[in-house]
Amino acid sequence: MDPDSPAFSRRCYGYDRNEEEGLILNIAEASIVLKIFEWYERGWSIVRIKKELEALKVLTPTGKKKWPVKTIENILTNEKYTGTSVYGATESADFPSTKRTVRDPFEVHRSRNHHPAIIHERRFKRVQKLKAKRSNIEVDEHGNKVRKSTHYSSKKAVTRAKETTEPQN
């Protein structure tokens, strides 16, 4: 697949689309994306990030005042912020279903250094590990997704961080 294809240059929050150059940074939005990743790495939950964005009166990618949790989830998992454009990660199921299925990773098209990065790839990978660690969904021995009996709370992360940074006697 041609990396100059418009499919690789779909606009997302933090970027504008320029016909000649493809994706270019939107500085105001890119700074918000950077903050979202920083806050998440600090131990903030997605709900806390949502509340902070709303308190700061930051508008969503669609111009609304209330941030959907899913929008923040999508920002935290979008590889595009590393400068890599991904195409074909999912495909439509057969009609009339509207569901999308995840494709074989070997069939996914990637174009690295396609556009300016907002997040370094190392930070992106750290956040993906944190998301997996904080998730309340596990895969059992049969490959089924099951919920853990506990869920992540940034309050627990802050408490643990304080306990590990206090001097030991």
Q: What is the pLDDT of residues 54-79, one digit of tens each?
A: 999 999 999 999 999 999 999 999 98
- Look at 151 and 54; give whichever has higher pLDDT: 54
Residue 127, pLDDT > 80, answer yes
Mean pLDDT, residues 125-139 = 85
Can you tell me the distance from the alpha carbon of 43 to that of 133, in angstroms, rounded to the nearest whole number? 12
Give start and end residues of each alpha helix (H) in the chain. 27-41, 46-55, 69-77, 121-134, 154-165
Predicted TM-score (pTM) of the model is 0.68
Q: What is the pLDDT of residue 6?
A: 47
Q: What is the pLDDT of residue 70?
A: 95
CA nearest neighbour of 78 among 45, 41, 36, 43: 36
Q: What is the pLDDT of residue 3?
A: 44
